[in-house]
Structure 1
Amino acid sequence: MMFYLNEISVFGHGPETARKLQGSTPHDQLLIQISDSFAGLLLFAIGFLLFMVSFVKDRDFQNFFAKGCILLHVFMALWRICFERHLEDLARDWPRQLVGDVVLSLSWLFFLVYSWREKYD
């Protein structure tokens, strides 16, 4: 993802929006590259955390973790509704990303329902 950032931006947003999102000055471009690097680091940390939690046998902790993930996805959906839809360069993308946030939170909700069914049967 880091090596083909321009191609991914063009594929996801289109050529004009990708050009605008790259920044117009060298300082802006450096800030955007640093932001992308931190986003990649965050994705790696989240994946590692999910990998560690998958080996935990405590059902109560996994339910607590799933509730936290649901809350995180709900807040991301609210962020997209309240702020990202007002950015004209990203206005085309926020409904698709909102659907993704809702689907991910539903997947954690289905995990909770499955674990409750398993607990009370």
Structure 2
Amino acid sequence: MGSYTFHLVCVLHSVAAMTCGLLLMFYTNEVFEFTHGREIAVKIKGSTPHDQLLIRTSDSFSGLLLFALGFLLFMVASVKDRNFQGFFARGCVFLHVFLIFRKFGMLQVWRIYFDRKLEDLGGNWLRLVVGDIVLALSWVFFLLYTWRERYD
């Protein structure tokens, strides 16, 4: 049963990553308007054509990376080796916990140096941290489920 749970968690994470990647590559402006509002989305796009091109290129590459990671997760979902599944799930938990701590660390640097200039994005960190916690918990629940299954 652990194999089915691993497959399900991987596919759910894969669909989320691939969807976010595609949205970031092709519908960046619409996503920013939906998540931040029209006024802030206009500010995020950049003020000069050169800035706009750099920001759009960066967003497209970020979306491509997310899509590739989602595709990789989709391929990993078919692995049947339980030792690999546990190793992979522990690695994913570590990765998400690392991202949570990195965001808290970067938040302090961000507030000290840049908060006055980009005050529109100041409340965004909480949503990002909650998302990382939810994603990490899905892997933790998988590990607990397989541990319970193994030792019952």
So what's the TM-score if we normalise by structure 2?
0.72
Asked if 1:102 is matched to 2:125, the reply is no
- How many residues align structurally? 121
CA distance in 2, matches of 1:35, 1:71: 26
Asked if 1:67 is matched to 2:90, the reply is yes
8 Å CA contact 2:26–2:60 kept in 1: the answer is no
Partner of 1:44 in structure 2? 67
Partner of 1:115 in structure 2? 146
The letter for the 2-side match of 1:50 is: L
In the alignment, structure 1 segments of 5+ residues that lack a partner are none
Deviation at 1:80, TM superposition (A): 2.1
Change (3 A) 1:53 1:3: closer
- Residue 18 of structure 1 is aligned with which of 41, 61, 79? 41
Residue pairs, 1:78-93, within 5 angstroms = 78-84=101-107, 86=111, 87=115, 88-93=119-124
Aligned-residue Cα RMSD (Å) equals 1.6
CA distance in 2, matches of 1:49, 1:67: 17
Deviation at 1:32, TM superposition (A): 1.0
Partner of 2:19 in structure 1? none
SS across alignment from 2:80: coil
Partner of 1:7 in structure 2? 30
In the alignment, structure 2 segments of 5+ residues that lack a partner are 1-22
Greater displacement, 22-31 / 103-112: 22-31
The letter for the 2-side match of 1:65 is: F
SS across alignment from 1:63: helix
Deviation at 1:109, TM superposition (A): 0.4
Partner of 1:30 in structure 2? 53
Deviation at 1:89, TM superposition (A): 3.0
Deviation at 1:91, TM superposition (A): 1.1
CA distance in 1, matches of 2:94, 2:51: 32
Deviation at 1:114, TM superposition (A): 0.8
Higher relative contact order (CA 8 A, sep 6+): 2
